Structure 1
Amino acid sequence: MKNEKAVVVFSGGQDSTTCLFWALENFEEVETVTFHYGQRHNKEIEVAEEIAKDLGVENTVLDMSLLNQLAPNALTRSDIEIEEKEGELPTTFVDGRNLLFLSFASIMAKGKGARHLVTGVCETDFSGYPDCRDIFVKSLNVTLNLSMDHNFVIHTPLMWIDKKDTWKLADELGALDYIRYNTLTCYNGIKADGCGECPACKLRKNGLDQYLAEKEEEKNATANLSERRS
């Protein structure tokens, strides 16, 4: 894959930025695509452009504002409360979002001579979103290939890992601090550790706390082992 080109679906958040660093490790050429769909945390577009520029990656922003009109939800309407109720889809779910994002990203990718698409969807911490499931991604991959007669490959580096292991991957890529302090995951549009109250911030913080605790335990275990051997 190293001599090929990839397009990363990029929001400037923890997951997509981790995927961007992953793509930079695995492909010779990488571009990003960011979608403006009327999200109330639209500062993420600004953050995505800042990160892409910082990492020397070309970023394209596409207007997907039609989603705002077709799929009212807590991410596009300030009068809809962010809620997660057992047995129901969260109010932050946007119908068709990943279907449209990956479809438009693939059209862009083909035009730029890329066949690899990278997205940060995850079935482990997917909040019940049906369009974050592996079966959806595999199904869409086949559909895109058939629709454009092009050999696309959709990569999902985070699909089977939780937030703790997403932070671990970021650390292995040498990007933990960068991702912690430069990305925006918060539904209320606050960079880095965010507001600390919305579901996205809580999930992110819990994963970070778990990873840092695990890392400290491993460090102490290694130190103790060295002491016993000396």
Structure 2
Amino acid sequence: MGIVFLHGTGDMTAMKSNKAIVVFSGGQDSTTCLFKAIKEFGEVEAVTFDYGQRHKLELDCASRIAADLKIKHHVLDMSLLNQLAPNALTRSDIEIGQAEGELPSTFVDGRNLLFLSFAAVLAKQAGASHIVTGVSQSDFSGYPDCRDIFIKSLNVTLNLAMDYPFVIDTPLMWLTKAQTWQLADDLGAYSYVREKTLTCYNGVVADGCGECPACLLRSRGLQEYELARNGGKRI
């Protein structure tokens, strides 16, 4: 079997397939990816992971969005991750923050590795060659498992481990948050993504709590995009 390498551009022409699995949290990024996948693939399914996250309302949000878009939705139990990797996303007694020179307290060791691996198992059973994920190296919180080099490495590993021609698509890899808002707008999903998604670590839908790192990143990108859009510019 030939090994398929990911180019990290979000270009889904690397391999022909008519079905994709979207790793889906119900947040801004994964919902934008879901809209993009619906446009580009004949059949799309979404998979969400329950790992005991403190913003557990994202599970309900993801289910509502999947129902709205008439997408088959899988929710997989990943509670073991909660036991293995205590962090601010799974423990209310750990403060959300980032000390200088360290990873944010919201980083969950092995999360994307496990999520994408289990998504690949699901994808193979469902006959899907593409796995779509909203990770980004351009505008992220310093998480090592959002980097392009990690995705490329895992892509090859999954192909070898399962003898199946997966392509991990990363449409947002080189986009800023502002450009991600622009993509949602280009897809006709700007209002939906803004009003229906949950990015906030404190579980507040839409514009969120306005204080946590996820909300601040989302808000800065939104403000930058709206300034450009009102000025008739593309970012």
* TM-score bin (small chain): over 0.9
User: CA offset at residue 85 of structure 1?
Assistant: 2.4
Q: 1:106 aligns with which of 95, 120, 123?
A: 120
User: CA offset at residue 144 of structure 1?
Assistant: 0.2
Task: Kindly report which structure 2 residues correspond to 1:74-85, keeping only aligned pairs within 5 A, or say none.
Answer: 74-85=88-99
TM-score, L = length of structure 1: 0.94
Structure 2 partner of 1:226: none
Q: 1:121 aligns with which of 123, 135, 147?
A: 135
RMSD value over aligned CA atoms? Answer: 1.0
What is the aligned length?
Answer: 219
- What does the per-residue CA deviation read over 1:94-121, in whole Å, with 9 as the maximum and x for residues that have no partner? 0000000000000000000001000000
Structure 1 partner of 2:59: 45
Identical aligned residues as a percent: 69
User: CA offset at residue 126 of structure 1?
Assistant: 1.8
Q: Matches of 2:106 and 2:139 in 1, distance apart? A: 14
- What does the per-residue CA deviation read over 1:142-188, in whole Å, with 9 as the maximum and x for residues that have no partner? 00000000000000000001100000000000000000000000000
Structure 1 partner of 2:7: none
Greater Cα radius of gyration, structure 1 or 2: 1
TM-score, L = length of structure 2: 0.92
Identify unmatched segments of 5+ residues in structure 2.
1-12
User: CA offset at residue 3 of structure 1?
Assistant: 5.7
Q: Which has the higher helix share?
A: 1
Kindly indicate whether residue 162 of structure 2 is the aligned counterpart of residue 148 of structure 1: yes
Runs of 4+ in structure 1 deviating by more than 6 angstroms, as ranges, are none
Identify unmatched segments of 5+ residues in structure 1.
220-230
Q: 2:104 aligns with which of 90, 95, 104?
A: 90
Q: Matches of 1:152 and 1:3 in 2, distance apart? A: 10
Q: Matches of 2:41 and 2:17 in 1, distance apart? A: 6
Structure 2 partner of 1:209: 223
Structure 2 partner of 1:181: 195
Distance 1:3 1:131, change over 3 A: closer
Q: Matches of 1:31 and 1:85 in 2, distance apart? A: 38
Q: Matches of 2:17 and 2:86 in 1, distance apart? A: 41
Structure 2 partner of 1:164: 178
User: CA offset at residue 87 of structure 1?
Assistant: 1.3
Q: Matches of 1:126 and 1:211 in 2, distance apart? A: 17
